[in-house]
Structure 1
Amino acid sequence: MKDYDESSAFLGQWGCFQQVVFFVLAASTIPNGSGVFSIVFLADIPRHHCLVPDANLTEDWLNAVIPIEVTDGEEERSSCSRYRLDVVKNLSSQGLIPGRDINLTQLEQESCVDGWSYSKDIYQSTIVSEFDLVCSEQWKQPFTSTVIFLGVLIGSFISGQLSDRFGRKTVLFATMAVQTIFTFVQIFSSSWLVLCVLLFIAGMGQISNYVSGFVLGIEILTGSVRVLFSSMGVCLGYAVGYMMLPLFAYYLRNWKSLLLALSLPGLAYIPLWWFIPESPRWLLSQGRVEEAEAIVRKAARWNKVEAPQVIFEKCSSHVDEVKTQQKEHHNVFSLLRTNNIRNTTLILGLVWFTLSIGYFGLSLNTSRLHADPYLSCFISAAVEIPAYIACWLALQYIPRRVSTICVLLLGGVSLFLIQLIPQSLQSLSVALEMLGKFGITCGSSLIYSYTAELYPTGLRNTATGTCTTLARVGSCIAPFLLQLSYLNKYLPYIILGTLYVVSAFAALFLPESFRRPLPETIQQMHKRGSLKWPIISRKQHSKPGLPFETKL
């Protein structure tokens, strides 16, 4: 809100108060990066075959009791069957040699009635080896990932409204506690079903605390620092957690030890309750002017500047209006109440959905980068660092709408081109996929800021949470989209590329928010007008520094 920015301008932009808020909130997203993709290691499928109990078999029969199958042109031991053990015992006792005296293809096979033997070359244990999620139960392995994203989806939908109702700080720390506690409790799961329930609850806290921390930061910070925070602060914290995940997983190859390592850092955030304030903007939107002033005066002491006797005198004319609006307790239906808000919400929902399905689809498909899962995960995470830097530069110097369209087209065109690359240039195909992820990651960071800048304070967290919910629908669909590669290797890329081009066209009709104050009321949002074409009028072209917009 312009009046708020002017009223708090005496604080400066980068004092001690802003530095604490910036770095603490950025650090709060580190567990999100390591937690959301931990399932890559927790639920990975080790090489396995039927367990052969001690049956006094000869060495030849011990090596031959597991059938050989051809997969992708390579011979490997069967994962889900063995030759009937009673028959093998009888043949072994007779001194017959497999392959010479006995044609193995004529022997009857049976399922793994005695369980499985899992390779420990990469992992000591995973939830797959713990609960035998293989063969007839293998459908449970990808469904486990879906359970997490379903929890994230529900958490995104609920947390936004809770944050607008009860405050950013309260929801931030509550969801951080949910994430930490239920990540730790997963260690004691007695069955796969219990584990899924705990994963679902932990998933609810995953994105919820990210969104609350993001909104809290952009409402407290101002100017270029707010842009830096929204584009690089929280995102780099997330990327750092993502890059730390393969390091933890490499040294802790037991799934329970990995969960313990991922949950313990959450305890370090308990003392931060006394350092992170509530959002003064949110307090003002609730009519709690005295509490907002108390926070700003505390910030002034931290920054060693003198606060005026009356801080929010300029915005006092808005208090009654805003307070009246908040009595309505805006919810998700408020996003569909008028044509302007409804159209903006629908377009943003499409863009969020597209960015999410592409981001998680490419992130879960990184096994093609390298045979080592730890290195593959690290490369996928490392690509995000330059993407966030590029996003920060775009937020600083390029209008939001132009930036959004460019990154969508970059992601879409890169994925379309993959199908044109011959098999002999596989490395170029991988490079294009990573270029696509670069654009998608940049867009995923950019869209948070764009969304938050379009909606008023009373609706900001609800709008962000709702759009995040739509994005999580995309993340739930992403694993199933990858399965379409069995029908056609390039079909997932074609579908994703089409979605990105369509979303880029739809983004043409979004309002611009570049270098404009955050709206505090729905009326201020409406003053930005109806959806606009990105056409530069001659009159506006003569005014440098202003957003280029004309009405339809």
Structure 2
Amino acid sequence: MRDYEEVTSFLGQWGPFQRLMYILLSLSSIPNGYVGMAMVFLADIPPHHCRLPFLNSSSYGGPGYNLSLPTQEVKGEVILSRCRRYTERGALDAESIQSTERCLDGFVFSKERYVSTIVTEWNLVCEDAWKAPFSVTVFFFGVLTGSFLSGIISDRYGRKFIFFATMAVQTIFSVIQAASNSWEMFSVLYFIVGMGQIANYCAAFILGSELLNKSCRISFATLGVSLSYAFGYVCLPLFAYFIRDWRMLLLALSVPGFLYIPMWWFIPESPRWLLSQGRIEEAEAIIRAAAKKNGITPPDVIFKRDDTAELMQKDCDGGQNTYTWLDLLRTSNIRNTTLVNLIMWISVGLTYYGLSLNTSNMEGDPYLNCLIAAGSEVLGYSCIFLAASYLPRRVTLPFCLIVCGVVLLIIKFVPEDLNTLTTTLAMVGKTCITGAYGFLYLYCTELFPTVVRNMGLGVTSMASRFGSTVAPYVAYMGTYDKVLPYLLMSGISIITGILSITLPETKDDELPELISQVKPLHCFCQKQRPVERKSQEENIQVGIGLENSHG
């Protein structure tokens, strides 16, 4: 049978329809770039100390505080204690020994950098310091849940539906979140925003990969959505620099989501998905509309019955099969591919978000550090585009992961006074892991078949959230030992890079349509045997046999 690419080849490679889909779906990823990373500024912890009402001063470091508070050493600098005060009221000389107590009257925060953050709003310091990183963990739990549910919903009800539904969830609940009156309310809403954020990104990725042809797919995956995501990340420190109040910053980051509403009338459903559901007429209507936009006259019959027999996926009674995440474990090939991807995504998610959230612990201005980190993403995605275009998949991914691990390991041996070199090495590692993260989306799209592609990408990207939920605490380690997070992420990256070599090569191959078309893993000590080609009749019989046995 003819494959989908061959059937729709009359559309051309880069007509008005392809350009419009490329641009619109890429631009939709801009908000995703700053929603998850906004907590770098929303939850940053300004300098602070106990409030002492008897001094009649609410400003940080006001008169009398230096004599009424104990001191502590932080990173070699002696400062006023952040969480303790003297038990007895009054001025004390430096030689006296007095008992201390926790801050009973709240805290005074420095306003040199921020007007407010969620930390200053709800005093998330000292005994409650765990709440700030936990808010980020709650967000990633939402991302995890969204990854799981969106894949099932998308493969059952369509790519377009989940794409716009999750965009609405992310935008509307971000606006509501800006009006939170408690930390608990903020965290619950952040969970819902996380559900929409990753689901929207995955849906855009899948929709673009299935609407565009093979020649555009690599560019779309590594430059289109990825660079748009990076551009959103670049916008974050710029917004945060000029808007120092967390509520106004969150509102300013949320409102642009409403600008995407008109896209509903321009972006169609995926014809590949419609064909897999047996909705041939709807798929043909979309292809004909695309041909009209490209100024091309389509053939009288686009999809023949023989061409769509396997894609329709009917069971023996003529009913339509419903796929679940259990189908990702149906055969040994797809099961092994799924398990290896789960491990890789967990590792890459932990390292990527660990390095991103760790920018607040780096020396220097946090806005500049965040801007440099965002710039490293632009470089990472640009490099991965070139690598994906010319290098085998089984070379690109291991190279990115192993180089990232080695660079982060070198930080262990950098003298403490060479902060610039440490920052440079961290950003090189960030560039490599960013490239690996973006590349995984492309690679998974090519590894999983159409009937469970969005589900496969959803489940594996969901696994990365197990890593990202731990990432805030990995970054939090940096407040006590700045080298420890790098050592942890280094070891994980190197091990995962070696494991990724076992995945099959997919460069220049057609996207698989059926579960039976998934390739086996490539073991280090085993030479792969070529897959024998079967006739059209044999392929149809194998497809029907699998459907009857698993339907």
TM-score (norm 1): 0.90
- 2:502 and 2:521 in contact (8 A); partners too: no
1:152 aligns with 2:131: no
1:438 Cα deviation after fit: 1.4
1:459 Cα deviation after fit: 0.8
Give the structure 2 partner of residue 92 of structure 1: none
Q: How does 1:17-28 map to 2 (within 5 A)?
A: 17-28=17-28
Following the alignment from structure 2 to structure 1, what is the Cα–Cα distance between the partners of residues 432 and 2? 32
In the alignment, residue 81 of structure 2 is paired with which amino acid? S
1:486 Cα deviation after fit: 7.5
Give the structure 2 partner of residue 258 of structure 1: 249
Of 491-500 and 186-195, more deviation after overlay is shown by 491-500
Following the alignment from structure 1 to structure 2, what is the Cα–Cα distance between the partners of residues 433 and 375? 14
Following the alignment from structure 1 to structure 2, what is the Cα–Cα distance between the partners of residues 423 and 258? 34
Give the structure 1 partner of residue 339 of structure 2: 346
1:60 Cα deviation after fit: 6.4
Q: How does 1:327-338 map to 2 (within 5 A)?
A: 327-338=320-331
1:483 Cα deviation after fit: 4.8
* CA-to-aligned-CA distance 1:484-518 (integer Å, 9 cap, x gap): 56886544333322222222222222111110011
Give me the CA root mean square deviation.
2.5
Following the alignment from structure 1 to structure 2, what is the Cα–Cα distance between the partners of residues 464 and 271? 27
Alpha-carbon distance change, 121 to 243 in structure 1, aligned in 2, over 3 angstroms: same
Q: How does 1:40-439 map to 2 (within 5 A)?
A: 40-53=40-53, 61=64, 63-84=66-87, 87-88=89-90, 98=91, 102=93, 105-313=96-304, 316-319=307-310, 322-324=313-315, 327-439=320-432
Following the alignment from structure 1 to structure 2, what is the Cα–Cα distance between the partners of residues 2 and 202? 42
Alpha-carbon distance change, 247 to 334 in structure 1, aligned in 2, over 3 angstroms: same
- 1:150 and 1:472 in contact (8 A); partners too: yes
- 1:147 and 1:196 in contact (8 A); partners too: yes
Following the alignment from structure 2 to structure 1, what is the Cα–Cα distance between the partners of residues 417 and 153? 53
* 1:502 aligned counterpart, secondary structure: helix
* 1:232 aligned counterpart, secondary structure: helix
Following the alignment from structure 2 to structure 1, what is the Cα–Cα distance between the partners of residues 200 and 4? 25
- 1:7 and 1:314 in contact (8 A); partners too: no
Following the alignment from structure 1 to structure 2, what is the Cα–Cα distance between the partners of residues 320 and 226? 21
Following the alignment from structure 1 to structure 2, what is the Cα–Cα distance between the partners of residues 26 and 293? 25
1:529 Cα deviation after fit: 4.7
- 1:252 and 1:258 in contact (8 A); partners too: yes
Alpha-carbon distance change, 404 to 523 in structure 1, aligned in 2, over 3 angstroms: same
Following the alignment from structure 1 to structure 2, what is the Cα–Cα distance between the partners of residues 25 and 227? 14
In the alignment, residue 116 of structure 1 is paired with which amino acid? F
In the alignment, residue 78 of structure 2 is paired with which amino acid? E
In the alignment, residue 67 of structure 1 is paired with which amino acid? P
Counting aligned pairs with the same residue, the percent is 46
* CA-to-aligned-CA distance 1:277-299 (integer Å, 9 cap, x gap): 00000000000000001111111
Following the alignment from structure 1 to structure 2, what is the Cα–Cα distance between the partners of residues 534 and 265? 52
- 2:337 and 2:520 in contact (8 A); partners too: no
Of 451-460 and 505-514, more deviation after overlay is shown by 505-514
* 2:508 aligned counterpart, secondary structure: coil
1:479 Cα deviation after fit: 2.3
502, 509, 530: which one pairs with 2:495? 502
What is the number of residues matched between the two proteins? 525
In the alignment, residue 424 of structure 2 is paired with which amino acid? A
Following the alignment from structure 1 to structure 2, what is the Cα–Cα distance between the partners of residues 68 and 488? 20
Following the alignment from structure 1 to structure 2, what is the Cα–Cα distance between the partners of residues 224 and 386? 22
In the alignment, residue 358 of structure 1 is paired with which amino acid? T
* CA-to-aligned-CA distance 1:280-320 (integer Å, 9 cap, x gap): 00000000000001111111111111111111127534257
1:394 Cα deviation after fit: 1.4
- 1:167 and 1:278 in contact (8 A); partners too: yes
* 1:117 aligned counterpart, secondary structure: strand
In the alignment, residue 71 of structure 1 is paired with which amino acid? V
Alpha-carbon distance change, 238 to 113 in structure 1, aligned in 2, over 3 angstroms: same
Give the structure 2 partner of residue 544 of structure 1: none
In the alignment, residue 51 of structure 2 is paired with which amino acid? L
1:474 aligns with 2:477: no
1:48 Cα deviation after fit: 1.5
Q: How does 1:477-492 map to 2 (within 5 A)?
A: 477-483=470-476, 490-492=483-485
In the alignment, residue 318 of structure 1 is paired with which amino acid? A
- 1:511 and 1:532 in contact (8 A); partners too: no
Following the alignment from structure 1 to structure 2, what is the Cα–Cα distance between the partners of residues 315 and 445? 36
Alpha-carbon distance change, 56 to 116 in structure 1, aligned in 2, over 3 angstroms: closer
1:534 Cα deviation after fit: 9.3
1:233 Cα deviation after fit: 0.4
In the alignment, residue 131 of structure 1 is paired with which amino acid? W
* 1:438 aligned counterpart, secondary structure: helix
Following the alignment from structure 2 to structure 1, what is the Cα–Cα distance between the partners of residues 174 and 297? 44
Following the alignment from structure 2 to structure 1, what is the Cα–Cα distance between the partners of residues 124 and 413? 37
Following the alignment from structure 1 to structure 2, what is the Cα–Cα distance between the partners of residues 489 and 37? 20
Following the alignment from structure 1 to structure 2, what is the Cα–Cα distance between the partners of residues 538 and 398? 22
- 2:407 and 2:425 in contact (8 A); partners too: yes
In the alignment, residue 152 of structure 1 is paired with which amino acid? V
1:5 aligns with 2:22: no
Alpha-carbon distance change, 486 to 369 in structure 1, aligned in 2, over 3 angstroms: closer
Following the alignment from structure 1 to structure 2, what is the Cα–Cα distance between the partners of residues 162 and 60? 60
In the alignment, residue 209 of structure 1 is paired with which amino acid? N
* 1:365 aligned counterpart, secondary structure: helix
Alpha-carbon distance change, 353 to 254 in structure 1, aligned in 2, over 3 angstroms: same
Following the alignment from structure 2 to structure 1, what is the Cα–Cα distance between the partners of residues 373 and 25? 24
Following the alignment from structure 2 to structure 1, what is the Cα–Cα distance between the partners of residues 155 and 208? 14
Give the structure 1 partner of residue 539 of structure 2: none
1:104 Cα deviation after fit: 6.5
* Greater than 4 Å deviation, 4+ residue runs: 54-57, 483-489, 532-540
Give the structure 2 partner of residue 449 of structure 1: 442
1:518 aligns with 2:521: no
Q: What are the ranges of 5 or more consecutive residues in structure 2 without an aligned counterpart?
A: 532-551
1:434 Cα deviation after fit: 1.6
In the alignment, residue 205 of structure 2 is paired with which amino acid? F
1:469 Cα deviation after fit: 0.8
1:103 Cα deviation after fit: 5.5
In the alignment, residue 64 of structure 1 is paired with which amino acid? L
In the alignment, residue 276 of structure 1 is paired with which amino acid? I
- 1:2 and 1:517 in contact (8 A); partners too: no
- 2:11 and 2:291 in contact (8 A); partners too: yes
